[in-house]
Structures are given as structure tokens and as C-alpha cells.
Amino acid sequence: MMKTKIGYIRVSTQEQNTIRQEALMEALGVDEVYIDRMSGKNTNRPELQKMMEYVRKGDTVIVESISRFARNTRDLLELVERLTVKGVEFVSKKEAIDTTTPTGKFMLTVFGAVAELEREYILQRQREGIAIAKANGVYRGRKPVQRPGFDQVVALWRSGELTAAEAMRRLDMKSSTFYRRVKEVV
């Protein structure tokens, strides 16, 4: 049976660079790489799902760090359990975790919990910062997108020349946004 090294790479946005993670995978002799360019807030990522379906018994999944693979302990442990059931090993280079050992499995749980705690702290500080900024009148949220021709389209809709669905389509707006904005300009 041929054992394959499979790399998983994730960056949060299309603009972020994967070169550092790709260089690591090349240095480790990884045979196949899956790359997602999206948030890791959940496991609903196309390349992650493809990789999870592709892996076979004896393969090893390698990630640069736990945070690239999963953002919370539950998702991390669930993904690793799915790999384990298939007979696939998991290695995270940054945290030096290898699930083929009992210590590696234990450390995986600990590091996953720490990563999740760190993420919660970041979100909490962000919420606190926004609350302070709002209290000081500095933060007002995202500015609404100005749609060219909004007033003309709404006038056609109000006169009955357009349906609401057609008005929303022309303005490229969801219904909740459309009706909220219409109320604002009454």
C-alpha cells in the first residue's frame, strides 16, 4: 500500500499569500496539496472537503498549524476523528503534533482548546473595542453602499411600473436591504 503525504493549506482571504505554507509542504515532500482561500470559521470549505474524501488508509495529512486546519476544538477533534476512522495520520508542524502517538493525541486536544480560547479572546476584545468606539461616537458601523439610480428605481416601483422583485434585481439588493433603504428615504 502506497502511503501518501497530503498537505492542507488555508489562508483567510483571496489576497493572502500561500507561499510560506507551500514551501513547507515542498520541504516535507508532500505529494498532494489542497488549498482553501477562505475563513476557517467552519469546516464547510471545498478543498478541505475534497481532501477529507480523498484520503486513504496509511496516508498522512500535514498542516502548517492547527489554526490553518480548524478554528475551534470541536471542529479540530471531529476532523481528526474522521481521519483516524479512515486510518489516516495527522501532523501539525508548528505545534509538533503527530496523532500516531498517545502524547500527540493529548497535545492535539490541549492545543486545540488553547487556539479556541485565543480566538474567543480576540473576538471579545473586538466587541469591547467596538462598544467603546460607539460610546465615544467614533464607530457607526459600515457605511451603506450607494446604488446608482436607487431613487429612480424606487420611484418606478412606487408608481407600480416595476415589481419589487424587479427593482431589487436592478439594484442588486436583497429584500431586507431594499425595504430598509426604502423606509429610510420616505
What is the set of active-site residues? 12
Work out the angle between the directed axes of helices 73-85 and 46-54 (0-180°, nearest 10). Answer: 30
Q: What angle do CA 118, 130, 138 make, to 5 degrees?
A: 150
How, if at all, do strands 60-63 and 89-92 pair?
parallel
Give the burial string for 118-129 (b: 16+ CB within 10 Å, else e).
eeeeeeeeeeee
